[in-house]
Amino acid sequence: MAVVCDAMTPTQERAVEAEHAIGEYGGDRKSEQYQVRNYELDRKTSTGDTDYLTARIARDNPAIYDGMLQGKYRSVNAAGH
């Protein structure tokens, strides 16, 4: 008999939040709102790579994400490799 528990651990809650932050596979690529003009990109204000990698680590490997929060890794990229 399986035991059902309604409460999630903090690690599970972060994984669920990360999954929502990443979004669904594919997504909306045809709307005008999501069309990118390369000449309008500003790499200095973009943190997408770091945010995305953090969300992936939180979703895919909560133990490494906990280590990141505790400072065991020098950077998000170090934790991802």
Q: State the Cα–Cα distance between residues 81 and 79, nearest whole angstrom.
A: 6
Residue type (1 letter), 36: V
Phi and psi at residue 77, to the nearest 5°: -65, -35
pLDDT for residue 17 is more than 70? yes
Give the residue carrying structure tokens 């997408």. Answer: 48
What is the model's pLDDT at position 47?
Answer: 57
What is the model's pLDDT at position 70?
Answer: 93
Residue-wise pLDDT tens digits, 20-73: 666 666 666 677 776 666 665 555 555 567 888 888 899 999 999 999 999 999
Q: In terms of C-beta distances under 8 Å and separation of at least 24 residues, what long-range contacts does 56-63 make, across chains too?
A: 56/18, 56/22, 56/80, 57/18, 58/14, 58/15, 58/17, 58/18, 59/15, 59/18, 59/19, 59/22, 62/11, 62/12, 62/14, 62/15, 63/11
pLDDT for residue 74 is more than 70? yes
pLDDT for residue 1 is more than 60? no
What is the model's pLDDT at position 63?
Answer: 93
What is the model's pLDDT at position 50?
Answer: 84
